[in-house]
Structure 1
Amino acid sequence: MTTLPVAICQAAPVPLDFAGGIDKAVRLAREAIAGGARFVAFGETFLGGYPLWLDEAPGAALWDHPGTKALHAIMLEQAIVANDERLLPLQELCDETGACVSIGAHERVRQSLYNNQLLFRPGEVPLDHRKLVPTHGERLIWMRGDGSTLGVHEAEWGRAGNLICWEHWMPLARAAMHNLGEAVHVAAWPTVREEYALASRHYAMEGRCFVLAAGLVQKRDDLFEGLANVGGSAEAEELFNAIESDVLNKGGSMIIAPNARVLAQAGEGEEILHAILDLSEIGQGLATLDTDGHYSRPDVFELSVDMRPKDGVVRKSE
């Protein structure tokens, strides 16, 4: 394959309501695939919605805050788990169409939540990428991922991988992914503001790959609607009422070529952004810059990546 049609579904998630979010994701992904896309990306934690109250609600980070505790309990209850049957419609869509879908979700492992960007691919189990370092207030919600989820999907047209949000300012994480030779990279964001667009374009240039910088659209009213879908909470409603802004995430998604030029850019509302990638641009760009090859100095620099899963508990028999 010399070209690859791709799309970003820039949309509002259904906050807290994972069943509703999956229904919407399948509908939008199917629409994008019907429009020609063979690879589809959604933004950070589309399934469950980005926890905007951490940044937008005064007092959300205070110790023992009733609203924050109520929301955390809901998120634990709603989060996806390993082999979650609620994800089957996304897998079946990929199996049926041969397309790939990258989508963010809250994932529960034992009693902890992770920020996971799942890559669904035909005929295979989804590829996990758990965010290595939750950013700032996100640490109140999410556990840190480990190196076992720094991987790529091997497709007939090349390799595809994910990083989430501020991982794009982790130089060693970028180097580890560039070493895997991505053709397509999903940069998942809650919204693609100016500095996030710069990071995404830099990644494309540095990694000589195409980047789908995928953002969400979210309004304060969405939080109330999602909360009502999962049974409501007076404490959580009070926390949401403290949020002053009406529009919280404004999209701005973009599709970027390996030389950092923007192929397509979304506005601030819900839309499906399409582009056709000319995969030959990757090899052309590597002639002048290969940060994992002729522009590296393995005699000076060495990167070690521990890809063992870290479960925290190792049980040993005598």
Structure 2
Amino acid sequence: MTELPVAVVQAAPIPLAIGDGIEQAVKLASEAIEGGAKLVAFGETFLGGYPLWLDEAPGAALWDHPGTRAMHRILLEQAVVAGDERLLPLQELCDTTGAVISIGAHERVRQSLYNNQMTFRPGLPVLDHRKLVPTHGERLVWMRGDGSTLGVHQAEWGSIGSLICWEHWMPLARAAMHNLGESVHVAAWPTVREQYAIASRHYAMEGRCFVLAAGLVQTKAQVFDGLERAGGSTEARELVESIEADVLNKGGSFIAAPDARIVAQASEGEEILHAVLDLSERDEGLASLDTDGHYSRPDVFELSVDTRAKDGVNWKAEQ
């Protein structure tokens, strides 16, 4: 297969209420697949929504802030977990259609939250990618991922991987992913502003792959709606009320080719962005630039990637 129909779902998540968000995601992914897409990408933490209050609510980062504490409790209660049966409809959609779906979520592992860009693939377990470094204020919400979730899915048409937001400014993370030989890369963002578009197009050029830069749209009213669905507290409502802006995420999603040109661009509203990728462009581009091959210097530079899971606590039975 040299032509791959893809779609970026630029939509508003249902903040906090992840069960409702999964139902919405299945509906939107089904629409994209009915439109011909074999690969569907959603933005960062579509399931649960991006924690906008960290940037938009004055005082949210203050120690012991009541609203921030309440939001964290709700996220822990709502977050997906390993083997979560609520996710089965997404897996079943992949199994029945043969499509691949990349979608972000808040994930709970023990008592911690992770930012996970999950790849659902036909007949196989979910491929996780947990954000390696939560950016700035995000560290109040998410734990750091480890090298065990750096990987790609090998499909019949090629390989697909993902990085999340500012991971695209981690040179060694990019080098590791380029070594895995992505045909298509999902760049998951809360919204694709100018700097994020530059990073996404640079990734396409550097990695000689197609990039699906997927962003969200979100309003303050939608945050209130999700909070009510999730049974929000007075403290959480007051935190959201303190946000001044009405429009918080504006989308800006696009699809870039291996030479960094934009082949499809979304507007600021909700839409499903479709494109058909000519995968032969990847190999043609490698003639002039292969950062993992003839444009590397393995005699000068060497990268070691530790893919062991770092659980922190290892229980050992007595010998």
The alignment's TM-score, normalised by the length of structure 2, stands at 0.99
Match of 1:122 in 2: 122
Looking at structure 2, the residues matched to 317 and 127 of structure 1 have their Cα atoms a distance apart, in angstroms, of 30
Match of 1:304 in 2: 304
Match of 2:9 in 1: 9
3-state SS of paired residue (2:81): coil
| Matching residue's letter, 1:149 | T
Q: How many residues align?
A: 318
Match of 2:251 in 1: 251
More divergent stretch after superposition (228-237 vs 57-66): 228-237
| Matching residue's letter, 2:277 | L
| Matching residue's letter, 2:131 | K
| Matching residue's letter, 1:11 | A
Looking at structure 1, the residues matched to 247 and 224 of structure 2 have their Cα atoms a distance apart, in angstroms, of 13
Looking at structure 1, the residues matched to 298 and 280 of structure 2 have their Cα atoms a distance apart, in angstroms, of 27
Looking at structure 2, the residues matched to 129 and 230 of structure 1 have their Cα atoms a distance apart, in angstroms, of 25
1:196-241 CA-partner distances (Å, limit 9, x unpaired): 0000000000000000000000001111100100112100111111
- Are the equivalent residues in 1 in contact too, given 2:132–2:145 (CA < 8 A)? yes
Q: 5+ residue gaps in structure 2?
A: none
3-state SS of paired residue (1:118): strand
Match of 1:262 in 2: 262
Looking at structure 2, the residues matched to 27 and 122 of structure 1 have their Cα atoms a distance apart, in angstroms, of 18
Match of 1:35 in 2: 35
3-state SS of paired residue (1:49): coil
Superposition deviation, residue 126 in structure 1? 0.7
| Matching residue's letter, 1:214 | A
The yes-or-no answer on 1:55 pairing with 2:59 is no
Match of 2:163 in 1: 163
3-state SS of paired residue (1:301): coil
Structure 1 moving runs of 4+ over 3 Å: none
Identity among equivalent positions (%) equals 79
| Matching residue's letter, 1:256 | A
The alignment's TM-score, normalised by the length of structure 1, stands at 1.00
3-state SS of paired residue (2:295): coil
Looking at structure 2, the residues matched to 4 and 309 of structure 1 have their Cα atoms a distance apart, in angstroms, of 33
- Are the equivalent residues in 1 in contact too, given 2:74–2:232 (CA < 8 A)? no
Superposition deviation, residue 314 in structure 1? 1.2
Match of 2:235 in 1: 235
Match of 1:149 in 2: 149
3-state SS of paired residue (2:126): strand
- Are the equivalent residues in 1 in contact too, given 2:4–2:277 (CA < 8 A)? yes
Looking at structure 1, the residues matched to 222 and 51 of structure 2 have their Cα atoms a distance apart, in angstroms, of 12
Looking at structure 2, the residues matched to 174 and 154 of structure 1 have their Cα atoms a distance apart, in angstroms, of 18
Looking at structure 2, the residues matched to 235 and 294 of structure 1 have their Cα atoms a distance apart, in angstroms, of 57
1:233-266 CA-partner distances (Å, limit 9, x unpaired): 1001111111000000000000000000000000
